[in-house]
C-alpha cells in the first residue's frame, strides 16, 4: 500500500468512527460486511452453533476497502461479505483480498460465479428483471431488447442509469451485442422513459402502482422485501400491482448480479475464515441466506424461498460474472454518452 493513501484512509476511518475488532483470538472469525447485520446474523448464528467459532461483525455502508488498506498488515478482517460484482471487483483491485483455492468451495459454487483467480466467490444471485403493471401490461415474456420498442414510449421507469444495478445489466448488453448496438439501445430506452431516472427499485414499483409508468427495471429481491413488509403495508400494494418478467428467458437468460465473499488479505484467523466460507456454501447455509435476502442460492439444487419461487423460475445468463464485469466501465461511459440520466428527449 502506498504511504500517500494512508492519510485519506485514516481520515475516513475517523469519520466512520467504527469500533475496533480483536485481531487475534482463538475460536473467532472477524467479518467485514457491506450487508446489514440482521441479514447475515442467522447465518453466523448457525455457523457458531455448528462449529463453536464465534463471529464478530463490522458493518460498513461505505469505505470498506479503504479501511482495510489503512489497517494494513494489522487488519483484523478475515472475511469480506458484500453485494454486487462491482464491490467484489473493487476489493480485489484494491488489494484487500487474497486468492483461495478450496476444493469444497469450488465444488459447491459454479465456476461462472467465482473469480478465476480465487479472490471472490458468489453466494447468491439476484435477477435484474422487468416489473410490469398487472392492469396495463398483458405481456409475460419480454426481452431487454424489447425495451427499445417505440410501443413503450413514455411507459418505462428506472433508477439512475449509473447505479451499479443498472450498470451490471448494461454491461451484459455490451457483452452480448457490442458497444455500437448497446449505444443505440440505450438511446432508444432513454427515449421510452416516462421521466428522468431517479429513486430506488422500490419507488419504481410505486410509480407503476400510481400509473406513472407501465414497465420498470428492478431487482427480484425488492419484490420479496415489499411483499413481506408489515411495517409499511403500502409497499405490499406496490408489489401486488405488478408481475415479474424474466427477460430473455427463452434465449441467453436473465441478467444476474451476485452477493459474495472474499478472504481478506491478511486474515489473522485464516483457518476459521476458510471454515466460515466453506460453511456458507453448504445447502443449509445457502437456503438460510437466500431466505433472508430473497435471492437465489448459487449451490445447484439449493432452493430459494417460497416467496421468491412465486415470481417464477429464473433462467440466468450463462456468461461468467467475471466476464461481464469487464464491460462495466464501457457501460458507464455509454450511459453518459447518450445522456441517459437526462431522461426522454422532448
Give pLDDT, residue 173.
98
The pLDDT tens digits for 183-241 are 999 999 999 999 999 999 999 999 999 999 999 999 999 999 999 999 999 999 999 99
**Distance, CA of 140 to CA of 137 (rounded, Å):** 8
Residues in Cβ contact with 232 at an 8 Å cutoff, skipping those fewer than 6 apart: none
State whether the Cα torsion 19-24-27-31 is positive or negative. Answer: positive
Q: Where are the alpha helices (DSSP H) in the chain?
A: 6-16, 37-51, 64-71, 85-93, 103-108, 164-177, 179-192, 201-209, 220-227, 233-240, 270-279, 283-293, 306-309, 321-325, 328-337
**Cβ atoms of 328 and 165 closer than 8 Å:** no
Whether residue 165 is annotated as binding a ligand: the answer is no
Residues in Cβ contact with 7 at an 8 Å cutoff, skipping those fewer than 6 apart: none
Q: What is the mean pLDDT of residues 22-42?
A: 83
Cell numbers at residue 279, please?
Answer: 460453511
Query: Per the confidence metrics, is the pTM higher than 0.85?
Result: yes
CATH number of 3-124+256-302: 3.40.190.10
Q: Are strands 156-157 and 215-219 parallel, antiparallel or unpaired?
A: parallel
Instruction: Reduce the DSSP state of residue 54 to 3 states and report it.
Output: strand
Q: What is the mean pLDDT of the chain?
A: 92
Give pLDDT, residue 346.
67
pLDDT surpasses 60 at 14: no
**Cβ atoms of 220 and 294 closer than 8 Å:** yes
Residues 126-254+322-342: name the CATH superfamily.
Periplasmic binding protein-like II (3.40.190.10)
Provide the 8-state DSSP code for 300: T
Number of C-beta neighbours around residue 283 at 10 A: 14
343: left (phi over 0), alpha (psi -120 to 50) or beta: left
Give pLDDT, residue 345.
82
Domain ranges of the chain: 3-124+256-302, 126-254+322-342
If we measure between CA atoms, which residue out of 266, 265, 264, 208 comes closest to residue 241?
208
Give pLDDT, residue 13.
36
Per mean pLDDT, which range of 3-12, 119-128, 289-298, 314-323 is the poorest?
3-12
The pLDDT tens digits for 56-89 are 999 998 999 999 999 999 999 999 999 999 999 9
Whether residue 34 is annotated as binding a ligand: the answer is no
Amino acid at each position: 500500500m502506498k504511504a500517500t493513501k494512508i492519510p485519506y484512509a485514516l481520515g475516513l476511518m475517523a469519520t466512520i468512527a467504527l469500533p475496533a475488532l480483536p485481531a487475534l483470538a482463538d475460536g473467532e472469525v472477524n467479518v467485514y460486511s457491506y450487508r446489514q447485520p440482521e441479514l447475515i446474523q442467522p447465518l453466523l448464528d448457525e455457523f457458531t452453533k455448528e462449529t463453536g467459532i464465534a463471529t464478530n461483525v463490522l458493518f460498513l455502508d461505505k469505505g470498506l476497502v479503504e479501511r482495510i488498506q489503512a489497517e494494513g498488515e494489522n487488519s483484523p478482517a478475515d472475511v469480506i461479505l458484500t453485494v454486487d460484482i462491482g464491490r467484489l471487483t473493487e476489493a480485489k483491485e484494491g488489494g484487500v483480498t487474497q486468492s483461495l483455492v478450496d476444493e469444497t468451495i469450488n465444488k459447491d459454487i459454479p465456476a461462472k460465479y467465482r473469480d478465476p483467480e480465487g479472490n471472490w466467490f458468489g453466494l447468491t444471485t439476484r435477477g435484474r428483471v422487468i416489473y410490469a403493471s398487472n392492469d396495463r401490461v398483458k405481456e409475460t415474456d419480454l426481452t431487454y431488447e424489447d425495451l427499445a420498442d417505440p410501443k413503450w414510449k413514455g411507459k418505462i421507469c428506472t433508477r439512475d442509469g449509473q447505479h451499479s444495478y443498472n450498470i451490471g445489466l448494461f454491461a451484459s448488453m455490451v457483452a452480448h451485442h457490442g458497444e455500437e448496438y448497446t449505444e443505440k439501445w440505450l438511446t432508444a430506452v432513454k427515449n421510452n422513459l416516462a421521466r428522468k431516472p431517479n429513486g430506488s427499485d422500490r419507488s419504481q414499483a410505486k410509480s407503476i402502482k400510481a400509473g406513472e409508468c407501465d414497465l420498470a427495471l428492478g431487482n427480484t429481491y425488492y419484490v420479496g422485501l415489499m411483499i413481506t413488509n408489515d411495517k409499511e403495508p403500502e409497499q405490499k400494494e406496490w408489489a401486488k400491482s405488478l408481475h415479474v418478467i424474466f427477460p430473455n428467458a427463452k434465449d441467453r437468460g436473465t441478467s444476474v448480479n451476485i452477493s459474495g465473499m472474499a478472504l481478506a488479505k491478511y486474515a489473522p484467523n485464516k483457518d476459521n475464515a476458510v471454515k466460515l466460507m466453506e460453511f456458507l456454501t453448504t445447502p443449509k447455509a445457502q437456503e438460510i441466506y437466500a431466505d433472508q435476502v430473497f435471492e437465489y442460492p448459487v449451490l445447484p439444487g439449493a432452493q430459494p424461498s417460497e416467496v421468491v419461487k412465486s415470481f417464477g423460475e429464473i433462467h440466468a445468463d450463462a456468461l461468467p460474472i467475471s466476464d461481464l464485469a469487464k464491460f462495466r466501465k464501457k457501460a458507464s461511459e455509454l450511459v453518459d454518452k447518450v445522456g441517459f440520466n437526462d431522461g426522454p428527449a422532448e
